[in-house]
Amino acid sequence: MSNRKYNKDHEWVTVEGDIGTVGISDHAQEQLGDVVYVEVPDPGKAVEQGGEVATIESVKAASEIYSPVSGEVTEGNAALGDEPGLVNSDPYGQGWFYKIKLSNAGELDGLMDEAAYQSFLESLD
């Protein structure tokens, strides 16, 4: 899990080859509370870094998901349609949102690694 990178909107991305997998952090799911609905993007959708790409609804409110990287969506996590609670129970595993073919791998260098993200979280308190 050492290659998981985060943006300041609490999304994460892990990369294998040129395919990234995106989700939200444990901190984010905890802040949102029980997730009841996730709208994941369709394959083929072109996404800019920082652009709105998905919607997540908790019992409290709706939030937008901002893509940590640019590229083209290759798959949305269909399992979240039936079981949105996976975002809470397994945010870094089965609770992933979408896979994306990276168009600019250099963007990863601008994201935070695990240690940097943890210090970022501490700075929020």
Partner 1 sequence: MAAPETDIQHTPLHALHVELGGRMVPFAGYDMPVQYPSGILKEHNHTREAAGLFDVSHMGQVRLRGSGAAEALERLVPVDVVELEPGKQRYALFTNPAGGILDDLMITNAGDHLFVVVNAACKDQDIAHVRAHLGGDVALEVLDDRALLALQGPQAGVVMARLAPATTQLFFMTGAAIEIDGVGCFVTRSGYTGEDGFEISVPAARAESLARRLLAEPEVAPIGLGARDSLRLEAGLCLYGHDIDATTTPLEASLAWALSKSRRAAGARPGGYPGAEVIFEQFATGVARRRVGLKPTGRAPVREGTALVDATGRAIGQVTSGGFGPSVGGPIAMGYVETALAKAGTEIQAMLRGKPQPVTVTKMPFVAQRYYRG
Which residues of this chain interact with partner 1, rule CB under 8 A? Answer: 33-34, 36-37, 39, 55, 57, 59-62, 81, 84
CB of 60 to partner 1, least distance (A): 6
39 vs 72, beta carbon nearer partner 1: 39
CB of 36 to partner 1, least distance (A): 4
CA dihedral 103, 116, 89, 76 (to 10 degrees): -10
Q: How is the chain split among helix, strand and coil, in percent rounded to 5?
A: 25, 35, 40
CB of 12 to partner 1, least distance (A): 22
90 vs 101, beta carbon nearer partner 1: 90
Residue 113 near residue 59, CB atoms below 8 Å: no
61 vs 115, beta carbon nearer partner 1: 61
Helix (H, G, I), strand (E, B) or coil at 81: helix
Tell me how far apart the alpha carbons of residues 117 and 104 are, in angstroms, rounded to a whole number.
Answer: 21
